[in-house]
Structures are given as C-alpha cells and as structure tokens.
Amino acid sequence: MTDYSKVPSPCYVIDEKRLRHNLALLKHVADESGATIIMAFKAFAMWGVFDIVKEYINGAAASSVDEARLCCEHIGSPAHTYSPVYKKADFEDIQQYSSHITFNSINQYRMFAEYLQENISAGLRINPEFSETEYGMYNPCSPGSRLGITAGALGNTLPPGVEGFHFHVLFESGSSALAKVLAEVEKKFGKFFGQLKWINMGGGHLITGKDYDVNHLIEMLRNFKANTGLQVILEPGSAFAWETGELVATVEDIVENGGIKTAMLDVSFTAHMPDCLEMPYKPKVLGAVEKAAGKPVYRLGGNSCLSGDVMGDWYFDRELQAGDRIVFLDMIHYTMVKTTTFNGVRHPSIGIITNSNSFRLIKEFGYSDYRDRLS
C-alpha cells in the first residue's frame, strides 16, 4: 500500500508494477494475435516512463506534428499519424516523424498526395456509421460527423496510392463491441481489402480492463488477419495506463454554506481533471464512498475561481480537516494530457512508485511553465 503522506501534493503518481502488468498483457495480445499494438499519445504521453514502455511496445499513434516528434525522440520509431486536418506548413515535419499518415477526407488526401514521400504509407479514415458509444462527445459516428469517410462518399474506387484504412469508433469497449464494428466495416468496405496493406482499428479497446475477454480478441484478430491478409494495427490509449496511478491532493480548508461542507483542495477539476466536468465523470476517491448513511459527507472543491470547479458528494469515515490527503484513483490516462494552467493554478508534480516501492519525483512545475505558455 502506497504511503501517500510521503508523496508531494499535488502530484500524479504512476505505479510501475501496475504499468508493467498492463504492458505485459498488451504485449501478450500482440504476440499471440499477430497484430501490431501501438500507444496512443492522446491518452498517455508521460514520456518519463517511456523507457519502461519500450521494453514491451515499440510504436505510437500521433495526432499532431508535436506528438509525432515525441514518438521519434522518446519511443525511437516514426509515428502512425492521423489528424482531422493537416496544414501545409506542418506537412513536411509530419512526414519526417511518421511512417504512416492517415487522412480524414478524400480532399485532404488529394491535397497532399503529390507531396507524399516514398517511405510513407498513406491511409484513409473510414466511418462505418456504427458505434455503441453512449456519449455523443466521444461518438465519431454521430449523424453529420466530421470524422472519417462513409462508404457512400468513398464510392467504388480508391484513390491511387492508398494502402490502408483506419477506423476509430470505440470508447472503453470490450471485444464484443469490436466484433460488431468489424462486421459493419467488412460489409461496407470489405470490397477494398484486396487493394490494401493494413487496417488500423483505432483505440477504445479496454484490453487491460477487469472483465475484458482477451482470448476472444486474440482469436478475432487472428481470424481477420488470416482471412484478409492485412496487417492489423490497434492503438489503444486508456488500456496502457488504465488503473495505474492516482492524483494525490490535500485538503486546505473546509467551507460550509447552507449545510453543505466543501473540502477545498490544492487541485482543480477544471484544470487537472477536466473529464470530470466534460463527461461528466465522477472519479473514485480512496477511502470514500458515494453513499453511506450517517457518515460525514463532503463536496470536493477545486482551487480555481470557476464556480463550477466542484464535485460531490463523497462520504468519509470521519470528519475531514485541513492537511488530510485526498487520493483520486485512476488519474493517469487522458487526465494528464488534458491539463491546463487556468488561473495560474500550478500543475501537479509527476512521480512514480518504482518496483522497489520507493517514490521518485519525475517532474515538478513552477512559474515558468505557466508564463511560457503565453507571451
């Protein structure tokens, strides 16, 4: 059990043992299925632990020139890059840092096809118009979606030079959801498979989740690969860092108004846990429950001046007081990559609990990190 009193506050803390467990499982799936599994930076870009990641996985998915560069510099291989739109000013650098480039529309592909270097494998993002994602914000197959090319828009002919397809329609999903999507993709786009070299099945595969059917996934990927001859690529994001670490915070004050007690923290939901407000998603808190009659109940308040920088309610075994640690669980994937310095609120430090159960500080933030974002 981690002694969070020894960790600076606020701080994101990743657990090396849990990270290695996830990585080993992902490597097992890749080895057994013959698929290529790469890491999606949009969910996990904590390059301070990439030396560990590279022991298991060698590749990453990028959505921008900076992510592609990070892949080359800290993973050591060119990125599989997809962006909803490319700028001409960035495209030379995109190619420098990429092995695969996927285009969101036929217009974009035609705009850049003449500039594509011989070492780049070009693909198109397709929209199968089917997704089981319940959240509209995360559903790229919603009516009128700007993401991907529908079968009707693609027609019967692929633009010359296209070597792959890319779809991404899952969100923290199981293998059965992928099976349903694959059925739609094969029905609507299967006629083109013989002209392709690869298919990227995107992210949203929660392979390291507790109830994920890993064997079903392996069998499905094996069969798809055998039946189509295509290289299969998966780029899960959350699965890499799922339940591998926490955000450690401290109660700085207790505010009571109208019978409601709010524990004021040294972290911000809007700046440090934005998914909590965007989804909304209520995180789990160590030592607290969502309902317990007779126990002290608190809202948790962030340290920005946004009125809505608050979440509740949590029930604790005892009354909270200034100095108590509040530990938010599962705060490494997606949360860290979305943080801001709104209000000048200082970014939490970043650290790791090593295999020897010691804490190592990877990075702490200061004034220059806030100042240098805007000038």
Q: What is the pLDDT along the chain (375 residues), one digit of tens a residue?
A: 678 988 999 999 999 999 999 999 999 999 999 999 999 999 999 999 999 999 999 999 999 999 999 999 999 999 999 999 999 999 999 999 999 999 999 999 999 999 999 999 999 999 999 998 877 788 899 999 999 999 999 999 999 999 999 999 999 999 999 999 999 999 999 999 999 999 999 999 999 999 999 999 999 999 999 999 999 999 999 999 999 999 999 999 999 999 999 999 999 999 999 999 988 789 999 999 988 889 999 999 999 999 999 998 999 999 999 999 999 999 999 999 999 999 999 999 999 999 999 999 999 999 999 999 988
Name the residue among 270, 343, 334 with its Cα closest to residue 302.
270
Is residue 17 one of the residues assigned to a domain? no
322 in the same domain as 254: yes
358 in the same domain as 284: yes
Name the residue among 237, 272, 204 with its Cα closest to residue 41.
237
Cα 211 from chain centroid (whole Å): 19
251 in the same domain as 234: no
364 in the same domain as 270: yes
318 in the same domain as 249: yes
How far are the Cα atoms of 7, 17, 262, 344 from residue 361, in angstroms, in the given order?
9, 16, 30, 22
201 in the same domain as 129: yes
Is residue 51 one of the residues assigned to a domain? yes
Q: Which domain does 178 fall in, by range?
A: 34-240
314 in the same domain as 183: no
For the chain, state the CA radius of gyration: 22
Boundary-marking domain end, from 240, 256, 286 = 240
The pTM for the full model equals: 0.95
Task: Look up the CATH number of the domain holding residue 218.
Answer: 3.20.20.10
254 in the same domain as 140: no
Is residue 22 one of the residues assigned to a domain? no
Is residue 307 one of the residues assigned to a domain? yes
Task: Look up the CATH number of the domain holding residue 251.
Answer: 2.40.37.10
Domain count, the chain: 2
Is residue 179 one of the residues assigned to a domain? yes
Is residue 19 one of the residues assigned to a domain? no
Joined tokens for residue 170: 């899952």
Sequence-distant (≥ 6) Cβ neighbours of residue 219 within 8 angstroms: none
235 in the same domain as 157: yes
Is residue 45 one of the residues assigned to a domain? yes
218 in the same domain as 127: yes
357 in the same domain as 232: no
314 in the same domain as 205: no
Boundary-marking domain end, from 208, 240, 272 = 240
Boundary-marking domain end, from 177, 207, 240 = 240
Is residue 29 one of the residues assigned to a domain? no
Residue type, 363: K
* CA 288 – CA 291 distance, rounded (Å): 9
